[in-house]
Copies of this chain bind each other. A is one copy, B any other.
Amino acid sequence: MPRAERKSTGRRNRRAPRTKASFTQLPRRPFINTFKPVEIISEDQVEAIHLASLEILENIGIMVRLDEAREILKKAGQKVDEETQIVYFDRHFVLDALSHAPSEFTLHAPNPECDVPIGGDHMVFAMGASMPNSSDMDDGRRTGNQKDFRNFLRLAQSINVISTAGGYPVEPVDIHASIRHLECGRDFALLTEKPPYVYSLGRQKNLDCIEMTRIARGISMEQMLDEPSIFTIINSNSPLMLDVPMLQGIIEMAKHGQVVMLTPFTLAGAMAPVTIAGALAQQNAEALAGLSLAQTVRPGAPIVYGGFTSNVDMKSGAPAFGTPEYTKAAIATGQLIRRYNLPYRSSNVNASNAPDAQAAYESQMALWGAVLGHANFIKHATGWLEGGLTNSFEKVIIDVEMIQMMSEMMTPIDTSDAALGLDAMREAGHGGHFFGTQHTQERYESAFYSPILSDWRNFESWAEAGSPDAMMRANTIFKSILADYEAPAIDPAIRDELNEFVDKRIVEGGVATDF
């Protein structure tokens, strides 16, 4: 691509390096959060937020835009004002509904080795999703497209700490919206073995994606009902509103026993009160409303409470992420959710325009909020930049390194006599060195975490190698993973059935759009 044709990369002085990197990652293994959850607010404060949210539900109510949803809730005894479309949720109804939800469940993958445990002390990570743009050092920032979409899926398949692509890593706008969910659903099934995602943007899309998932797993719809195999994120239209397609998504996914993650987008100062407590009370009201609807449709349906409270930049109104307020809210949200015994979805987010130090420290604040809040499902765990407007290939690698480090930090410390190594101290002697001791020789190969991205060479060697900073090294690494990618094996009968379904639905025109 000639230089003049490149779009703005925001990195005009930097060139992508040409060397090839090797990629040795952690094995596929559970990430168990061994820390006790941190309490950033008192039990009384948790109760105050909980009670405020119940008061919101009962007295301010939630606007429920779908007739069918209001009907379900009215039948379940809730007070409904048809003129305003506002539903007033009774607190006993809400808490009773939630009591039927599982606190832990498995999100089944086409390959059972890729099944995703959700809840308890498990932490799992989904690739960043829904970004309109993608970027890398080679071609800069560009509008989402199918080529990048597929490359992100290849990374999601290849990287062990990524449990699912978690949505469209980037929106492939070169596929018409009427058939995009079909083409993307096919790619999920052919390029990865990990659980797929469906956007709740119309009932038919939910149904198509559920069917593609069933085909990819090669099971019956009856088995699907008991085995969650696809998930959706429901964002409430904050403040205090649930939109038509989102409500359809709740209903269809719950009806089919599939996973509803309800995540209010409560930006303090914009779509929620300017205080953390107010934003959390509103978040809680919106989450409980949507989740209790899911439980009313199908008691016991797998649901997840998503916390996404952050604040805006009060100077510009722009959303900010990985801020101190974000981290506080993530930890406090964990306290709230444990009250309802539900799995907790959080995120790894930042507002930086480049995969630089800001991106890393804001992301770390978000990740630590998730760890200390005991979140179970970390969405947007990789690649997210610009408050979610760009998925950066280099940032994926930076995030994978950060997640692997967290995972390794959680492994237990061995304090056996052998590990304490007093004999090694005797052998090394006062002022001696441990490299040569038997204790070291027996352990050195696996003693410490081996990074994928961090560069520990001395300055001179590093400068001789062209002073590659983390972004440049990440560039070589993501390209080497793509170069080594192999598509997963798939049963030819399943592939044929999938293609047949997708092709038929495409011929039918997919879903109606107004453009």
Contacts and interface: CB of A to CB of B under 8 A. Distances in A.
Interface of A: 8-15, 34-36, 38-41, 45, 48-49, 52, 55-56, 60-63, 84, 86, 141, 237, 239-241, 268-278, 281-282, 311-314, 316-318, 320, 323-325, 327-328, 332, 351-365, 368, 372, 386-387, 389-390, 398, 401-402, 405-406, 408-409, 411, 413-416, 419-422, 424-426, 428-435, 437, 439-440, 443-445, 447-449, 451, 453-459, 462-463, 467, 469-471, 474
A313 to B, nearest CB: 5
Given A40-B34, A362-B454, A364-B360, A435 B471 contact: no
A282 B415 CA distance: 13
Given A420-B52, A440-B269, A457-B316, A277 B414 contact: yes
Contact of A318 (B41, B272, B413, B456): B456
9 contacts: A239-B430, A240-B425, A274-B444, A311-B447, A353-B462, A356-B360, A357-B470, A358-B453, A360-B364
Listed from nearest, the 8 A-B pairs whose CB atoms lie closest are A278-B421, A273-B421, A360-B360, A364-B364, A324-B408, A10-B467, A357-B470, A63-B430
Given A10-B462, A353-B462, A361-B364, A269 B447 contact: yes
Contacts of A278: 419-422, 424-425, 439
B352 A454 contact: yes
A422 B328 contact: no
Nearest to A405: B324
A388 B278 CA distance: 44
Nearest to A141: B459
Contacts of A462: 10, 353
Number of copies: 2
Contact of A422 (B40, B281, B316, B411): B281
Contacts of A38: 35-36, 38
B405 A361 contact: yes
A156 to B, nearest CB: 21
Contacts of A458: 318, 386, 389
Contact of A269 (B408, B420, B435): B435
Given A269-B448, A313-B456, A447-B275, A425 B36 contact: no
A359 B401 CA distance: 13
Given A316-B457, A364-B361, A409-B324, A440 B471 contact: no
B456 A320 contact: yes
Give the most central of A416, A419, A443: most B CB within 10 Å: A419
B357 A471 contact: yes
Given A278-B419, A324-B405, A353 B457 contact: yes
Contacts of A61: 430
Contacts of A398: 357, 361
Given A36-B39, A405-B361, A270 B435 contact: yes
Given A353-B467, A357-B470, A277 B419 contact: yes
A36 to B, nearest CB: 7
Contacts of A320: 448, 454, 456
A389 B312 CA distance: 38
A84 B429 CA distance: 11
A49 B414 CA distance: 11
A48 B424 CA distance: 17
A449 B324 contact: yes
B431 A237 contact: yes
B240 A431 contact: yes
Contact of A240 (B62, B270, B430): B430
A415 B469 CA distance: 43
Contact of A459 (B12, B270, B386, B416): B386
A223 to B, nearest CB: 39
Nearest to A364: B364
A434 B39 contact: no
A38 to B, nearest CB: 6
B275 A469 contact: no
A356 B356 contact: yes
Give the most central of A320, A422, A453: most B CB within 10 Å: A422
Contacts of A408: 324-325
Give the most central of A10, A241, A274: most B CB within 10 Å: A274
A425 B323 contact: no
Nearest to A237: B431
Given A270-B433, A430-B86, A430-B240, A420 B463 contact: no
A444 B314 contact: yes
Contact of A413 (B9, B41, B269, B282): B41
Given A274-B447, A413-B276, A60 B422 contact: yes
